[in-house]
Structure formats: structure tokens, C-alpha cells
Amino acid sequence: MESVESQISEWRAYVGGSPALNGQDVDELEDHLRHQIADLTEAGLTPDEGFLIAVKRMGDVDALSREFAREHSQRLWKQLLASGDESARAASGWLEAFLFAAAAAVAIQVARLAAGFPDDEGGDPTWFVRDLSLFVLPFLAAYFARRRKLDVRRWVLTAVPFAVAAVVVNVYPYDADSATEMLVALHLPVVLWFAVAYPYMDGTIRSHQRRMDFVRFTGEWFIYYVLIALGGGVLMALTAGILEPTGVDVDRVAEWVLPSGAAGAVVVAAWLVESKQQVVENMAPVLTMLFTPLFAVMLACAAVVYAVTGLGDTFDRELVSIFDALLVVVLALVLYGMSARAPSTSPGWMDGIQLVAVASALVLDLVVLGAMVARIGDVGFTPNRTVALGLNIVLLVNLAGAAWLSARFLRGRSTFSRLERWQTAYLPVFALWTAAVVVIVPPLFGFS
Amino acid sequence: MHIDKDLVAASATPLVLALLADGESYGYAILKRVRALSGGDLEWTDGMLYPLLHRLRRLGYVTTEWRTPPEGRRRQYYMITDDGRAALAEQHRQWVAVTRALNDVWPGSGRMLAAAGEA
């Protein structure tokens, strides 16, 4: 059955390569293909035979995309000029995104005022920091739920994780200066981001294809968000420069504009990814192509140095968090590079570089893990060390699997879709791990 | 019996509209019914159904909606509009006129089959 799945995804990539067909058309054709295969297998053929006949019946792909091009000629010109109804649809989508962005901006502002943040006396209420993502990401989830036209049941399922998170995070009695509270504040946005995946994927969270779509979305969203943040920063700096001489308290202005802008940009960036997909589609693979080799070189050097010298005395909390951040970034880069890759092409030099990056990261992870286990043996578990250890183990398993599969792929012993599937199948592990940090770790350590 | 390509193309629009007039449906189900109705004589290239459906949507003859059935994949459903029904009625009139004219010129039902076979 698996070979048919990979054949279908190859066919999908091939058909989707035509600019005349958009993702929805390909979805529709794939649904047709699967129906046909199912009917043929029911009639006694093997899935492979069914696939062949179904593809044959679907017709010559070139002729098909010509036919689509005739009907959807505007798509070929999407980047150059938008035809009438296209821009009308974009305009209504804009309004919707704007409303959700505005709602997030207002929500964060109300919460900020309620919390009296920032407090000039330095007594900032920590609940505001802890709950930050709860004021923003529900709006993103709702935006997608609306955009995907989810039914009532799916709306409820979308809301459940947010409601549970809101209760859990706020019911726990954290100590003052609690380390577990900081960990919750760090992990909650990630947990909620995974919760956004549900409405984004239309509730079809079992589909590996859609999971990869979500990975791609995350990468593209990040790029747009950084771009918006850069532009916003320039705007803020210029505004401050202009208002300064008039005696306006610039800090007060920033207090209002910054949180709202940052919250609203979360939804706006998502909308940009959805509606201007073709723009970022061209940019993102270039960025990964640029940075994956650079990271690979840096990681390889670091891996050699640390493998020879060991961590020794330099090991401290700060270094561990830098290592963890580095590993997460590498993983993100590899995952994103994977999502942007055409599954049917044979191994190339980029795959080799990815393997170097993954293998080096694996070595670094082992070094950190060894040092950490020794440290915990000396002085015992603390919340921070436990979470760092857990994250390293979760990453270690992932990187080991990825390195093994991509080595096999490079030697032609395995297909790329196996590697892709390993990563998409592993995504729930990350979700569960971050959820565990938010839900289980605080009580485990008495909210200290 | 092999039916000429142009004839297949010409009959595609009224066939699809007539099927949708019976109730909303989605691509694969429409195709299956066409196959069943014609006993396999109408040879459609499956993929070509979709540009046709999208053309009907552009003309305003059908509306579409993405839905996910309880157990199954997300798929696009097509529903006929009033404009679509009007277009179907118009097509119906034209086809009746054509077949009536043809019936008048066919010398006999036996010869009619032979003529269709030659075509």
C-alpha cells in the first residue's frame, strides 16, 4: 500500500508542477484518482494495477494542464496582473484577515491594560507574560477555522486545546520567581501553534501531506513575520524620531503600538502566506538553499571541535540553551527544506549537505546529552535541566532517524517519501513533548 | 460502439447539467454515473471533466463548495444554479430539435445504426 502512496504523491507533484493547476485542483484530481483506485481494487486488482489504470484514465497530463490553462488562463498571469474576480476575492479575504488581526490587537491591549504592563516599579505581573500567546493564537485558529469553513464539531475541536491550555496555565499556583512558570511561558506558544495546525489542516490531522503543508506554512509565515517586523521596526524608529521634538512621550506610544502590531501581524502574516503564496514560494527555497550549507559548515566545525575537546568546564546553563536553540533551528531548516523539495527528484548535492548538517547536529546533541547526564548525576534534577534533557532526547531520536533515512536515500536504498514520512510522523511527538512541559512538569516540581 | 470525439464533447455540458439537476454531486460520482448511463459508450478522459466543471462555474451554471464527508477526504461539491437550469432547458430544446431533424432524414432504424457505425 505504501508504494501506491508514494506513487500518488509523485503523481501529485508532477501534476501540481503545472502553473495552470492550483493546489485545490490537484486535491480534486487526487480525490478522483483515489476513488478510482479504491473501486478498481475492490474489483480485484492490486493497488499498483489500480493506480496504473486510474492514471491512464485520468488522461495525458500535458493535455490536461492545457485544458486547465484554457479555463484558468488568469493563473498563468497571477504574478503579473490580477484579473477582476481574482482581485475581488483577494479584497474580501483582506477584510476578513484584517478583522481577526484587529481582534487580536485589541485583545492583547485589553490584557496589557488589565495587567498594568509594563509596570514602572518593576513588579510586572507574570501572568501576562505567561498567557501572551493565549491572547493572539486563538484568533489565528479562528481565522483558519472560518477560512476553511469548518463545521460545528470541528470548531469545537479547534477551541478545546485553547480552553484547556487557558485553564491549566492559570489554575496552577506557581511560586514567585518560578522556573516552571518560565518554562510554561516558553512552551505554551509552541503548543498553541500545534493547536492552530488543526483548523489549518481542515481537521485532517492524520494526512501526512497536510502536515507537510503545515510545515511549509510555518516556514513561510515566519519569513513574512520577520519581514513585517523589520518594516514595523523602521516605521517605529522614524515615528519616534519625528515625534520626539514635539514632546510626545514616545515610550507611551510604543507601549500601545508595539503589542498590537506584533499581535495583528501574526494573523496578517498568515493571510499573506495564504493569498500571496506564489511570491514566498519563490523566495523561501532560495533562503533555505542559502542557509542550509552555511549552517552545515558551522555545525560540522562545532561538532569536530566539541567532539575533540569535550564540553569540559565551559558547560553551563546558557551554553545548553544556545545548543538547544541551535538544534531546533537546524531541525526547522531541514524540515522546511524538505517541505519545499519535490519528492520525485533523485538525490542531489543539497541532500548531501542536509545529511552533513543533521549528522553534525547529532554529534553535538550527543555531546550536550553526555555533559547534561553527568551534571544531573552530580547535582540532581531541576525543572530546567529536566526539560533540557527531555528536549535533547526528543531531538536525538528525530535526528538519528533522519540521518539514517537520508543516508539510505542518498545511497539509493530508500525513497525520499520515507524520510518525509518519518518527519511528519514525528511532529506529534514534538507537540506532545511541549504539551507535557506545560501540563505535567509544573506539578512534578511543585510549581517551584 | 465508438462515439465521435466532437459528439462526446458537445454532449458533455448537457449531460453534466442534467445529472446535477438531479442533485448536487462531486467529480468522481458524476463520471461514474455518466459511464453507467451510457454503458461505457461515452469515453471520457476523466481529468477533462474538471476543466468543464470549472467552466460551468465561471459561467455561473453551478456553484461549488468544499466539504469533508464524515469519513472521507475533503472534496468539492457542485450544485446547479437557476442559470444552470435555464441553460439545461435551452440545451434540451436544441438537442430535441437536432434529433427530430435527424430522425426525419434517417431512412429507417436499421440503416440508422449502420450510419452511426460508419460515423
Element counts in chain B: helices (H) and strands (E): 5, 3
List the alpha helices (DSSP H) in A72-178: 84-115, 126-131, 137-147, 152-171
- Give the whole-angstrom CA distance, residue A198 versus residue A379: 41
**Structure confidence by residue, pLDDT tens digits, A267-307:** 999 998 887 766 666 676 778 888 889 989 998 998 888 88
Are A203 and B31 within 8 A, CB to CB? no
- Weakest-pLDDT range from A280-289, A366-375, A392-401: A280-289
Report the run of H or E that residue A211 belongs to, with start and end.
Answer: helix A208-243
Is pLDDT above 60 for B113?
no
Stretch B11-34: mean pLDDT: 91
Are B27 and B79 a contacting pair, CB within 8 Å?
A: no
Between residues 6 and 45 of chain B, which touch chain A (CB distance below 8 Å)? 26-28, 31, 45
Cross-strand partners of B66: B76
State residue B18 phi and psi, 5-degree precision.
Answer: -65, -40
Q: Which three cell numbers mark B76?
A: 468539492
Residue A448 or B112, more confident: A448
- Choose, out of B43, B52, B64, B68, the residue to mutate when testing the contact with A (most A CBs < 10 Å): B68
- Give the whole-angstrom CA distance, residue A441 versus residue A387: 8
- Weakest-pLDDT range from A62-66, A341-345, A416-420, B64-68: A341-345
- Give the whole-angstrom CA distance, residue A250 versus residue A71: 54
Is pLDDT above 70 for A347?
yes
- Weakest-pLDDT range from A67-71, A263-267, A330-334, A394-398: A67-71
Query: DSSP assignment of B56-68, as one string?
Result: HHHTTSEEEEEE-
Cross-strand partners of B75: B67
Rg (CA), chain B: 16
CA atoms within a 13 Å half-sphere pointing along the CA-CB vector of A159:
8
Domain ranges in chain A are 2-77, 88-275, 279-448
Q: Give me the pLDDT at residue A319, please.
A: 75
Domain ranges in chain B are 5-118
Chain B residues with CB under 8 Å of A57 CB are 45-46
Q: Which residue of B has its CA nearest to A85?
A: B58
Q: Which range is most confident: A78-82, A311-315, B19-23?
A: B19-23
Is pLDDT above 70 for B31?
yes
Residue A343 or A50, more confident: A50
**Taking Cα atoms as reference points, which of A340, A98, A345 lies closest to residue A219?**
A340
**Taking Cα atoms as reference points, which of A123, A15, A103 lies closest to residue A65?**
A15
Chain B residues with CB under 8 Å of A83 CB are none
Is pLDDT above 90 for A350?
no
- Confidence tier at A74 by pLDDT (50, 70, 90): very low
Are A29 and B50 within 8 A, CB to CB? yes
Residues 6+ apart with CB under 8 A from B17: B56, B61, B62, B80, B84, B85, B87, B88, B91
**Structure confidence by residue, pLDDT tens digits, A86-105:** 444 455 578 888 999 999 99
- Give the whole-angstrom CA distance, residue A366 versus residue A444: 26
CB of B70 within 8 Å of a chain A CB? The answer is no
State residue B79 phi and psi, 5-degree precision.
Answer: -125, 135
Q: Which three cell numbers mark A421?
A: 514520512
Chain A residues with CB under 8 Å of B65 CB are 149
CB of B48 within 8 Å of a chain A CB? The answer is yes
Residue A333 or A87, more confident: A333
- Percent residues over pLDDT 90 in chain A: 25
Query: What CATH class has B5-118?
Result: mainly alpha
Are B46 and A63 within 8 A, CB to CB? no
Q: How high is the mean pLDDT of chain A?
A: 83
- Give the whole-angstrom CA distance, residue A119 versus residue A30: 56
The distance of Cα B35 from the centroid of its chain, to the nearest Å, equals 10
Q: Which three cell numbers mark A296?
A: 552545515
- Weakest-pLDDT range from A324-333, A390-399, A409-418: A409-418
- Cross-sheet strand order for the sheet of B75-80: B25-26, B75-80, B62-67
Are A59 and B47 within 8 A, CB to CB? yes
Q: Give me the pLDDT at residue A379, please.
A: 78
- Confidence tier at B3 by pLDDT (50, 70, 90): confident
- Weakest-pLDDT range from A211-225, A341-355, A383-397: A341-355
Stretch B91-115: mean pLDDT: 78
| ipTM (interface predicted TM) | 0.81
Rg (CA), chain A: 24
Nearest CB neighbour to B28, from listed A36, A67, A71: A36
- Whether the ω angle into residue A118 lies within 30 degrees of 0, i.e. cis, is yes
Stretch A4-27: mean pLDDT: 83
How many C-beta atoms surround the C-beta of residue A85 within 10 A?
10
CB of B74 within 8 Å of a chain A CB? The answer is yes
- Choose, out of B5, B30, B35, B45, the residue to mutate when testing the contact with A (most A CBs < 10 Å): B45
